[in-house]
């Protein structure tokens, strides 16, 4: 072994940065040329293997330090994310996966970070989802959550399951991706919520005046029992319907057949009866004035 090779081997074994002999190794390691130089100089293969191991350990350590620095910068820069979806069954807000990713992707990319979701592990009854946070230099960390397949969706009207098995799987996968993403990023949604259209900056999160008028019109046109509807909508008044329930309320009202309208009956007690085909009083057959 030549004197130069012995110098390099000594520096690798001792690995003492206080020694002047380590400087060439560190310099080559940082530039990525340490092994190449050793090969060009005809060093012993065993020494080259040690040098490769040193370089790999050095790069791994540098990548890990860069990862933690980038994550710290991300946490310092990223804004809080608002809860944008409302669960009417539990009457609580939560963060959707789309809002979570859309809010944080620009800040992740700025710091050389990215999130990914490897293929989930699934059994007949459970699913395990992993969220992986990676840095561009190669270091990554992940969090996994296992839960039962979500089969809780029940139709309000029918009382039967309202989703097929594929939709159950998608629902579970979406929920677990959001949960693991929040966990790995170390974030939590604020209690403030995202407005539905950007025009109603209402702190109470109720429907707008125009939306309330639209619902009132449908109720009137279809002669729907307002008290029954409000009980179903879990509200004491149309104007106090939660903004997150507006869409489902409109859909439910449009599906409703409503009640037949009534007109005064010429019978002496003056009771109202349902409209039908009576040419004389416009009351249904059975009215005393029917002829």
Examine the fold and report which residue of 24, 45, 76 is the final residue of a domain before the chain moves on: 76
Residue of 81 and 244 predicted with greater confidence: 81
Query: CB within 8 A of 241, min separation 6: which ones?
Result: 206, 207, 212, 215, 233, 235, 249
Asked whether residue 151 is domain-assigned, the answer is yes
* Domain of residue 128, CATH code: 3.30.160
Q: Which of 45, 76, 107 is the last residue of a domain?
A: 76
- Average pLDDT of the chain is 75
Find the domain containing 216 and state its range. Answer: 209-255
Nearest to 172 by CA among 117, 227, 223: 117
Nearest C-alpha neighbor of 117 from the set 143, 94, 149, 135 = 143
Total number of domains constituting the chain: 3
Q: Which of 38-47, 139-148, 180-189, 225-234 has the lowest mean pLDDT?
A: 38-47
Q: What are phi and psi of 23, to 5 degrees?
A: -60, -45
- What percentage of the chain reaches a pLDDT higher than 90? 25
pLDDT tens-digit series, residues 106-160? 999 999 999 999 989 999 899 999 999 999 999 999 999 999 998 866 555 455 6
- At residue 8, the pLDDT reads 53
- Please check whether residue 250 lies inside any domain of the structure: yes
Identify whether 280 is part of a domain. Answer: no
| Residue that is written with structure tokens 């190669």 in the block | 138
Query: Of 22, 55, 76, which marks where a domain is finished?
Result: 76
For residues 172 and 196, which has the higher predicted lDDT (pLDDT)? 172
Q: Are residues 90 and 180 both part of a single domain? A: yes
């Amino acid at each position: 072994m030549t004197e130069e090779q012995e110098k390099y081997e000594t520096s690798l074994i001792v690995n003492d940065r206080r020694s002047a002999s380590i400087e060439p190794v560190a310099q080559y390691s940082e530039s990525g040329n340490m092994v190449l130089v050793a090969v060009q100089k005809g060093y012993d293969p065993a020494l080259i293997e040690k040098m490769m191991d040193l370089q790999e350990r050095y790069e791994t350590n540098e990548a890990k330090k860069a990862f933690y620095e980038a994550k710290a910068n991300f946490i310092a820069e990223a804004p809080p994310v608002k809860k944008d979806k409302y669960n009417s069954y539990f009457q609580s807000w939560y963060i959707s996966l789309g809002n979570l990713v859309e809010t944080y992707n620009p800040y992740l990319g700025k710091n050389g970070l990215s999130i990914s979701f490897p293929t989930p592990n699934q059994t007949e009854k459970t699913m395990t989802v992993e969220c992986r946070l990676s840095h561009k230099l190669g270091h990554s960390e992940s969090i996994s959550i296992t839960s039962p397949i979500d089969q809780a969706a029940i139709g309000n009207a029918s009382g039967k399951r309202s989703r097929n098995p594929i939709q159950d799987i998608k629902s579970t996968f979406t929920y677990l991706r959001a949960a693991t993403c929040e966990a790995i990023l170390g974030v939590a949604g604020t209690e403030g919520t995202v407005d539905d259209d950007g025009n109603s900056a209402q702190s109470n999160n109720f429907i707008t005046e125009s939306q309330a008028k639209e619902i009132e019109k449908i109720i009137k046109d279809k002669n729907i029992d307002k008290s029954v509807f409000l009980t179903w909508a879990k509200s004491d008044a149309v104007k106090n319907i939660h903004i997150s329930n507006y869409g489902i309320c409109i859909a439910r009202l449009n599906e409703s057949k409503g009640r037949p309208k009534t007109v005064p009956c010429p019978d002496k007690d003056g009771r109202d009866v349902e409209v039908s085909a009576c040419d004389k009083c416009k009351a249904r057959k059975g009215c005393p004035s029917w002829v």
